[in-house]
Amino acid sequence: MRASCVMRGSPIERICIVGGGTAGWMTAAALSNRLKGLPVAIRLIESSEIGTVGVGEATLPHIRAFNTTLGISEPELMRATQATFKLGIEFRDWGRIGDRYIHPFGDFGPVVDGVPFYHHWLRLRALGDTTRLDDYSYPVVAAEQNRFRHPSTDIGAVESTFGYAYQFDASLYAAFLRRYAEALGVERLEGKVVETALHPQSGHVERVTLADGRTIAADLFVDCSGFRGLLIEGALASGYDDWRRWLPCNRAVAVPTGSAGPLGPYTRATARTAGWQWRIPLQHRVGNGHVYCSDFISDEDATRQLVENLDAPMQAEPRQLRFTTGRRRDFWKKNVVAIGLAGGFLEPLESTSIHLIQDGITELLALFPDTGFDPVEIGEYNRRMSLHYERVRDFLLLHYVATQRDDSEMWRHFRALTLPDSLAEKIEAWTTRAYVVPYEFGLFLPPSWVAVMMGQNLMPRGHDPRVGRTDDTALRTRAQAIRSGVTRAVAGTPDHADYIRRSAAAASLAA
């Protein structure tokens, strides 16, 4: 039997979002937009004394759909958040020291005779061809040359074969969305939540109390309080699935620097002995950080490694963050939905955190409750969000296990690891015949898996047998034409920094 403190099935009239980081303001903006015109009051509580996590710069292309739904203008957003464009991520030293590859937001070549091009490339390679798979990808070659343009709307053009995202200051993004949400009527309350009252029978959160004594009651609470999970864990003890056995990195040290060199339309992730280092160029600065595992390196050495590998002077003191990789057992429990770091955390190797916030919001809107809080809908939400997180976990872990490195304790640790079945099956299908098993609710589509597996030298033994249908000479001619098309298209693509200056520069870059 379902227990509820209010009449079952009446519409939600009061929503309280606890937390005003990126998750809180993305949620507030989306709910205020999608519930516009309905008698729903949305309040957001945040504490400037506690502050936000204050990092988070690289995004995925899906964020554009989020912004478009809200009616946000791209140039305005880019100016407000110091954003640059992002075509993918460059990985250095992951397969072997000295290797580099780009995981692009796009495919490698077109489908030829019904088969993805990389299978044909494998065949060409077996015939002695030495061209790079990368040379068939417009976003890879454009990124390598620091060039960018928006995708063409002509679906026949090479310049239409990619997506793009942003590299921006997530705190400025939150501030931008705050202005948006407040204009749509979201009420912001400054204060620190010190107490949570539960309904004695249902166990639902009834109200929260702030340090100054104010109480805020609501039908639905969205917990965006960051790692602490004030409501979902603090009040409702959801529990946490700890994934450190697979992803043991548990700390990061972050530092901004000035800009150096050309403005790359890509994020960089360089593997280190006990983790990896990020470099994310924005218009006004570069974000840098070292994600590492404290079992394998001290904080001092991790900071030293970061500082020694910066390419421009630091603009602040390095700042340390701690985390535990994993996710809440229940993202949604009773009348509380946890979004953002309150729901879980996976290291930012593939820029997935803000995307997982977006997933949390999208699924909440799809399964938006009434005050009955149907357990079937809650169960479905938790099922979907668990899958979103697990898919990302597997993809991140792939980077650590598809490697030939064994030069440090961390890399040897990964050699001996028992993989989750879901990832082991995926790797097996790949190594057997270059097949990427697609799945439900997977963020990363086959081209992403191909990029990482090929990029890290996990070469398949076979390929799709259908490629044998294509005549070898015809295949070589076709491959040459695809490469030339990419080369030509990239040559006609503007320089990334110039392109931003013309369309969306903040004062720092316009100067």
CB hemisphere CA count around 42 (13 angstroms): 26
Is the Cβ–Cβ distance between 302 and 274 less than 8 Å? yes
d(CA 346, CA 323): 9
User: Does 321 help bind ligand FAD (rule: CB under 6 A)?
Assistant: yes
Give the HSE-up count for residue 509: Cα atoms under 13 Å, Cβ half-sphere.
27
Residue from 102, 142, 220, 224 binding ligand FAD (CB under 6 A): 224
The verdict on 189 binding ligand FAD (CB under 6 A) reads no
Question: Binders of ligand FAD among 325-364, rule CB under 6 A?
Answer: 340-342, 348, 351, 353-354
Q: Which of 5, 16, 17, 22 binds ligand FAD (CB under 6 A)?
A: 22
Q: Hey, what are 142's tokens?
A: 């454009």
Query: Residue 172 interacts with ligand FAD (CB under 6 A)?
Result: no
Minimum CB–partner distance for residue 231 and ligand FAD (Å): 10
* Identified binder of ligand FAD from the candidate list 35, 112, 122, 170, rule CB under 6 A: 170
Q: Is residue 55 within 8 Å of residue 374, measured between CB atoms?
A: no
Binds ligand FAD by CB under 6 A, chosen from 216, 252, 482, 486: 252
Angle between helices 375-401 and 446-455 in degrees, nearest 10:
20
Two tokens, residue 485:
């098309």
Q: How far is the CB of 369 from ligand FAD (least distance, A)?
A: 21
Question: How far apart are alpha carbons 41 and 57 in whole angstroms?
Answer: 31
Question: Of 189, 247, 244, which is closest to residue 46 (Cα–Cα)?
Answer: 189
Cβ–Cβ < 8 Å for 351, 383 = no
If you count them, how many residues does the chain have?
A: 511
Which C-beta is closer to ligand FAD: that of 57 or that of 107?
A: 57
Residue 46 or 390 with smaller CB distance to ligand FAD? 46
SS3 162: strand
CB 28 within 8 A of CB 220: no
Q: In the Cβ-directed half-sphere of 213, how many Cα atoms lie within 13 Å?
A: 0
By CB under 6 A, what part of segment 43-72 binds ligand FAD? 45-47, 50-53, 55-59
Binding flag, residue 274, ligand FAD (CB under 6 A) = no
Which is nearer to ligand FAD, 282 or 467 (by Cβ)?
A: 282
89/276 Cα distance (integer angstroms): 13
Measured CA distances, 427 to 118, 124, 350, 416, 438 (Å) = 16, 22, 19, 16, 12
Helical pair 353-366 and 22-34, crossing angle rounded to 10 deg: 30
Per-residue x/- track, 297-316, ligand FAD (CB under 6 A): --------------------
Residue number, 19 or 104, with CB nearest to ligand FAD? 19
Considering beta carbons, is residue 254 or 293 the nearer one to ligand FAD? Answer: 254
248 binds ligand FAD (CB under 6 A): no
Q: Which residue, 226 or 460, is less far from ligand FAD as judged by CB? A: 226
Strand (E) or helix (H) holding 139: helix 138-144
Catalytic residue among 36, 86, 333, 426: 86
Q: Is 23 in the site for ligand FAD (CB under 6 A)?
A: yes
Using CB under 6 A, which of 17, 24, 358, 371 touches ligand FAD?
24
Return the residue of 82, 137, 196, 225 that touches ligand FAD, per CB under 6 A.
225
CA distance 247 to 78: 33
Q: How many residues bind ligand FAD (CB under 6 A)?
A: 39
Nearer to ligand FAD, 180 or 323 (CB): 323
Q: Verify whether residue 86 is a known catalytic residue.
A: yes
**Interaction between residue 264 and ligand FAD (CB under 6 A):** no
**Where on the chain is the footprint of ligand FAD (CB under 6 A)?**
18-24, 45-47, 50-53, 55-59, 170, 192-193, 224-226, 228, 230, 252, 254, 289, 321, 323, 340-342, 348, 351, 353-354
Active site residues: 86
